[in-house]
A = this chain, B = another copy of it.
Amino acid sequence: MQDTIQSDLSKNLGRVKSNTMADSVEVKLRQYLKKMSFKPGDALPKETDLAEALGVSRNVVREALSRLRMLGMIETRKRKGMVLASPDILQAFERVLDPLIIDDTTLRDVFELRLVLEMGLADLLYKRMTDADIDELEDIANSEINKDKSFLVKNEIAFHGKLYEMTGNSTLKRFQIMLLPVFAYVITLVDKPTSGKIDHRGLVEILRNGTKEDFKKGMYDHLKPHFDRMK
């Protein structure tokens, strides 16, 4: 009992964070960029000036800038200095969304997040999809007749990927691609992939002739094995 209290301590209390200069400078710089309301492409002060203004070594400034650069917030060019850039919001995400390094709880959360997205696609889909889209989707669905398992897995990705693409929302599409490894990983953890009552061709049929509500129902049936396994 004493042991459990002790082992829980580190988890419950966490560790005190000792902020480094680089941390502070990073925050300062971000505030500075916002306050000055720079537009993408605008030139930024050079490293030495920043270091002097902030009263820290160029080393510290570079560590902070290195972080912003990773996030795509700034770009640096020799001689020219730094310029502001429009950060790619998913770039940072990509680096940490690895099934092997995130904890189990988050992994499960992300898995569910994917299910939520999939269930919520319908409204966007029915607003934006074209007949050509459905044709293409049908081709994908039809191509999986009498194929081996590895092909099915690839096709599963292609099918759902096409669904996201049909929403016309490229951020959403990229998000889905990033979620794929998590999905694949969780699938292998629990059991062999099972498909629900409705398969891909069923979904296509609904998209072509059914209502938005039909599709939501169909998608739920398609994903039902995952929902059943939850909690």
Number of identical protomers: 2
Per the bound structure, the CA–CA distance linking A124 and B34 in Å amounts to 37
Q: Decide if A72 is an interface residue (CB 8 Å cutoff).
A: yes
Chain B residues with CB under 8 A of A102? 86-87, 89
Say which residue of B66, B116, B167 sits within 8 Å of A120 (CB atoms). Answer: B116
User: Which stretch, A43-51, A92-100, A152-160, touches the partner chain B?
Assistant: A92-100
Cβ contacts A87-119/B at 8 Å (1 or 0 each): 111011101111011110110011011011111
User: Which stretch, A135-143, A185-193, A201-209, A212-220, touches the partner chain B?
Assistant: A212-220
Chain B residues with CB under 8 A of A130? none
Chain B residues with CB under 8 A of A86? 101-103, 106
CB distance from A147 to the nearest CB of B (A): 30
Per the bound structure, the CA–CA distance linking A101 and B171 in Å amounts to 16
Per the bound structure, the CA–CA distance linking A179 and B29 in Å amounts to 22
Q: Are B37 and A100 in contact (CB under 8 A)?
A: yes
Name A40's closest neighbour in chain B (CB-CB): B103
What total of chain A residues lie within 8 Å of the partner, measured CB to CB?
A: 66
Per the bound structure, the CA–CA distance linking A122 and B124 in Å amounts to 16
Chain B residues with CB under 8 A of A110? 89, 171
Name A174's closest neighbour in chain B (CB-CB): B109
Q: Decide if A169 is an interface residue (CB 8 Å cutoff).
A: yes
Per the bound structure, the CA–CA distance linking A73 and B26 in Å amounts to 17
Chain B residues with CB under 8 A of A63? 62-63, 66
Per the bound structure, the CA–CA distance linking A109 and B216 in Å amounts to 21
Q: Are B96 and A71 in contact (CB under 8 A)?
A: yes
Name A22's closest neighbour in chain B (CB-CB): B66
Given contacts A113-B172, A213-B213, 19 further A-B contacts (CB under 8 A): A37-B100, A63-B63, A66-B66, A67-B70, A71-B95, A86-B106, A87-B102, A92-B95, A92-B96, A93-B93, A113-B169, A115-B124, A116-B117, A116-B172, A117-B117, A118-B120, A119-B123, A120-B121, A216-B216
